[in-house]
Every structure is written in C-alpha cells, then in structure tokens.
Amino acid sequence: MTPPSVAFDVLPAAAADPAADRLRVRRRRVAMLALALGGFGIGTTEFVSMGLLPEMATTMGVSEPSAGHLISAYAVGVVVGAPVIAALAARVPRRTLLLALMVAFTLGNLGTVFAPSFHELMASRFVAGLPHGAYFGVAALVAAHLADPGARAKSVAMVMMGLSVANVVGVPAATWIGQAFGWRSAFGIVAVIGALTVTALAVWLPRLDSMPTTNPRTELGAFRRTQVWMTLFVGMVGFGGMFAVYTYIATTLTDVAGLSKAAVPLALMIYGLGMVVGNMAGGWIADRMLIPGLFLAMTSVAVSLAVFVAAAHNPVTALIVVFLIAASGSAIVPGLQTRLMDVAADAQTLAASLNHAAFNFANALGAALGGAVIAAGFGYTAPAVVGAGLAIAGIAVLATSVAMQRRTDARLAA
C-alpha cells in the first residue's frame, strides 16, 4: 500500500495557502529525487565501464579497443530498447512502467557481475542497456508533467541531474572500488543503487493517474515526423564526439597527459562536475532560447574537442579541457529533450525515449570510431579530432533542421 503521505495523483496546484504551497514543493522535490536516483544508477553503470576499461580488457584477455565493444554493446541495448519498450508499453501506467524498467536494469547489472566470459559479458551489457532510454524518456515526461509553467526544461534537467551527479560521485567511487577490489564489484554497487531506486520510486513517486497513456500505433507515429528524425540525428552525430574521447579517457590521461593511474577517479570527478554545470546551464538556457542555446552548446563541443588534441599533452590543461568537453556536451541534453517534446505531438513517450537512444547511438559511434583510429596507430589524441568532426556535422544537421522547419512554417502561414 502506498503510504498516506505520498498517496497523491499529481502535485496540487499552487494555492494561496502557504502550507499547501510548501506541500506541493516538497512532494515535487521528493518525486524528482526518486527519478534522479534512477538516473544516478544508469549514469554510473554507463560511464564506469570507461574508467575500468583497461582492467576489464586484462581480465577478459582482450585488447582495450576490443574491450571498447562492451561500451558499444550497452549503447546498442539502449538504441534497441528505447523504441521497442516505449511502443509496446504505451498503455502501461507511467509509474508502473518506471518501476518495471528499474527492476530490469538492476537484473541486467547483476548479470554483468557474474558474467563468466567476454561474450556473456557483452550480452549482459546489452541487456543492462535495454531499459536506459525508455526510463529517461518516461522520467522526462513525468518531470515535465509535474513542472510549473515555463519550467519544462529545468524540470527535465533536474531529472537528468542524477546522470550528471553520477559522474561526480558514482563513477569515480565505483572506479576506485573497481580498481581496488576488481571491476565486478563496481557493477555490484550499481545493482544496489538500482534496488534502492525501485524502493524510492515505489514510495515517493505520485500515482500519476491523470497522466495519459497512448497506444503503440500512436507512439510509432513519431517515426513519420521529419523533425523528430532531424532532432534525433543531431544527437546521434553531434554527441558522438564527446564519447569518442571519453571512452578512452583513462588511457589518454595516463599515457598522454602523464597522470598516475590513481588520479583517474579524480579526472572522472572533474568530468562529472562539468556535466553538472552543463546540465544546469543547458536547462536554464533551453527555457529561454532553445535553438540558439543548442547551437551555442554544440559549437562549444566542437571547439573544446579540437583544443583537447593539444591540451591532452599536459595534465593541467588536459583536466581543464575535459571539464569543458563535459560541460558543453551535457548542455545539449535538456535542449534536445525539450525540442523533441515540441515536435513529437502525441507520440511523446517514444520520441523522448528515442532521444536517449540517439545519445547512445552516438556513444557506440564515438567509441567505435575512437577505437578505430587508435587501432590504426594514430594515438590516443586522434579520437578528439574525430570528435570535433562529429560535432561540426551535428551543427550542420541542426542548421538543416531549423531551415526545414522555417520553410514549413512559412508554407503553413501562407
């Protein structure tokens, strides 16, 4: 039974009664905290693999570029799971769906802990990635549903804050634990976070009875909307540059910048701080100037990645630019999520979920291209060159999307 203190449908509207106002704010905060905790677990499992990639490669007897396929396997799971789950579960109440997704996430990470071989490890990472996109997509819609007017992107950013904080606390801590006690222990921690999230959602999340469900046919209608595809392409291409560098960040910072292995968790924490700053700034900007904010963020990604080619050879400049890469990349997320809500019409669950599928396609693309140039002998700064090119391509896609929308709007006005 849901405890009486949290048995509510949606947050009550603002009232003249100060006590009612405080209750509304408190309920929204704990609901957002429960959603963000899930993002914290997902962010930890997604990014800790990158910090522990050398250890995972050694244990499984494969090269580091080959171990990079573990990153790609998780990302492919997200790409596959997001549209399939969002469409098939269109009629499932949003609260029930979020709980089911986090249960599946927890079980997938337990599979990673006990995987006996490299192929089974890849399979477990694929399974762990399946709920990722659908969880974030539904969580973003719930956040927008509970938000005050004019604060949709800010509320979405609050949910995504769990993903950003994971890179400040969860990833460095799990990386340190993985280095000290074996990489499997890091994924055991993630499974515990998943179980805690299931509990938090069950206790703190509203019933959301008034939040409408749809049906598979309506949700699949998102695929017929050109602007949905264009917005997804922006993330699929433009976000890949960030992952081209981050996938191999541990070895880049030790072999190129000269940092000690023990300093890698600190570097990951700096990256996470950049994500927190970028996420907050991106949400604030998206509520005020959505399209210019996206252009600004993506240009910043391209510039910071290009600068990293030279900055990576010094430990201080490398860490500074790592922060800037994370901040500029994370600033893209709330804006793209909000734009998808605007262009998806009545297929919002699928569109919102596909946003994270697009980001993880970018993850897989960046990891694969980064590994390819490293394996070809171009060194560990080469992924930054590839990344800058991907970011520039993302800017071109965004510009094309905006131009197409303007022409459509002009025809409708005429």
Tell me the two tokens of residue 62.
């494969």
**Is the predicted pLDDT of residue 109 greater than 70, yes or no?**
yes
Residue-level pLDDT at 301: 94
Q: Which helix (H) or strand (E) holds 221?
A: none
CA distances from 371 to 82, 159, 211 (A): 25, 31, 43
Query: Topology of domain 4-409, per CATH?
Result: Growth Hormone; Chain: A; (1.20.1250)
pLDDT number for residue 5: 36
Mean predicted lDDT score pLDDT of the chain: 85
Q: Is the pTM of this model over 0.85?
A: no
pLDDT tier for residue 10 given thresholds of 50, 70 and 90: very low
- Residue corresponding to tokens 């405890």: 3
Q: Pick from 70, 289, 278: which is nearest to 160 by CA?
A: 278
Distances (CA, A) of 204 to 8, 153, 199: 10, 22, 9
One-letter amino acid of 246: Y
Distance from chain centroid for Cα 63: 26
Distance, in Å, from the CA atom of 2 to the CA atom of 291, rounded to the nearest integer, reads: 41
- Is the Cα torsion angle 225, 340, 212, 97 positive or negative in sign? positive
53-62, 245-254, 260-269 — which is least confidently predicted?
A: 260-269
Distances (CA, A) of 294 to 138, 175, 236, 400: 22, 31, 14, 13
- Give the type of residue at 192: V
192-243: per-residue pLDDT in tens? 999 999 999 998 887 777 777 778 888 888 788 889 999 999 988 888 888 8
Q: Which whole number is the average pLDDT over 86-103? A: 90
Secondary structure (DSSP) of 367-402 = HHHHHHHHHTT--TTHHHHHHHHHHHHHHHHHHHHH
- Token pair 């974030």 in the structure block, residue: 136
Q: Quote the CA–CA distance of 184 and 48 in Å, as a whole number.
A: 11
CA–CA gap between residue 338 and residue 141 (Å, rounded): 10
20 or 57: which leads in pLDDT: 57
**pLDDT at res. 264:** 82
Residues whose CB falls within 8 Å of the CB of residue 7, separated by 6 or more in sequence, listed in order: 207
For the segment 17-46, the average pLDDT, to the nearest whole number, is 79
Burial class (CB in 10 A: 0-12, 13-18, 19+), 414: exposed
- Residue carrying the six token digits 């079980």: 107
Residue 346 has pLDDT above 80, yes or no: no
Instruction: Say if residues 256 and 312 touch (Cβ distance below 8 Å).
Output: yes
CA distance 46 to 163: 9
Tens digits of residue pLDDT in 363-401? 778 888 998 999 899 999 999 999 999 999 999 999 999
pLDDT reading at 19 higher than 70: no
Q: Do the Cβ atoms of 251 and 374 come closer than 8 Å?
A: no
pLDDT band at residue 150, thresholds of 50, 70 and 90? low
Handedness of CA 151, 335, 45, 73 (dihedral sign): positive
Query: How far does Cα 356 stand from its chain's mean position?
Result: 6
Higher-confidence position of 19 and 135: 135
Can you say how many angstroms the Cα of residue 331 is from the centroid of all Cα atoms in its chain? Answer: 12
